[in-house]
Structure 1
């Protein structure tokens, strides 16, 4: 019974996240349309999404990332030098954590829509 309640809660949370993303999508689309490609490179944009945590315990940062190349979804060893260069400017903290994970910190990248990813950083 507890497992069923837990699964239902997860489903409700995911549904709420999807609804929030859908409401924010017009703003995302407008910013993407206004952002030119630099030297023909794929666009890489980010939006702060959520931040939780306290002075004691883990801090959790969620960022929505639009990556036209979809490289952010690859394993760290498969990221191209071009992506790393773009990310070092645009997604500095995220890019550093993806490439050099501290054993206590965690970075999770989950695809949520076409070229959109939810990056969850858990900092211990």
Structure 2
């Protein structure tokens, strides 16, 4: 009787918590945007290298399980390398979800302070606009924007001249532009800035 016949064909469980922990790591990197370059980029690269290593281990074990005639175990082990491959080929699917969740957690952490700062702004008759730099990576950063007019979400040609004047000396005036990443409710937005 072959040794493989003595080993039951049970799915491997560890790839699921491993993928969850690695995704949580991506969220943590995005939530902790106060990190200064190059530590932010190094943390992300280290996390992706760790994920790659774990995916390679799972792939080699999947091949071994398939060779031993245990298809359920092989399939369960192949899910982690497949998730890594999807992250590399279509980073918006996984990284975008991690970014959005990280933005929400980062905002929730300081929400009371942000609301207090907005409340302390004088009423000038113009919609209030306030921008906080959250930090980010070497060539791009994230800012929190409170925009009472919500014009931050409009294309530049539809933004009013008064809004552009209020945004002129903020991160929103970056010549490389910005992208609203996450609408946080109550006129708050997490914005990716190209500067």
TM-score grouping bracket, smaller chain normalisation: 0.7 to 0.9
Q: Look up the match of 2:187.
A: 115
Q: Look up the match of 2:164.
A: 84
Match of 2:104 among 6, 14, 18: 18
Match of 1:94 among 168, 172, 183: 172
Runs of 4+ displaced beyond 6 Å: none
Q: Look up the match of 1:27.
A: 113
Higher helix share: 2
Provide closer, same or farther for how the CA distance between residues 88 and 114 of structure 1 changes in structure 2, counting only shifts above 3 A: same
* Count of equivalent residues: 108
Which consecutive residues of structure 1, in runs of 5 or more, have no partner in the other structure? Answer: 54-58
1:19-67 Cα shifts (integer Å, max 9, x gaps): 12111101101101111122x11111011112321xxxxx112111100
Which consecutive residues of structure 2, in runs of 5 or more, have no partner in the other structure? Answer: 1-81
Task: Assess if the C-alpha contact under 8 Å between 2:103 and 2:190 holds in 1.
Answer: no
Higher strand share: 1
Q: Look up the match of 1:67.
A: 147
1-side partners of 2:126 and 2:187: how far apart? 14
User: Normalising by the residue count of structure 1, what TM-score does the alignment of the two structures yield?
Assistant: 0.72
Provide closer, same or farther for how the CA distance between residues 29 and 94 of structure 1 changes in structure 2, counting only shifts above 3 A: same
Q: What is the CA RMSD across the aligned residues, in angstroms?
A: 2.3
Q: Look up the match of 2:122.
A: 36
User: Normalising by the residue count of structure 2, what TM-score does the alignment of the two structures yield?
Assistant: 0.48
Highest Rg: 1 or 2?
Answer: 2
2-side partners of 1:49 and 1:31: how far apart? 15
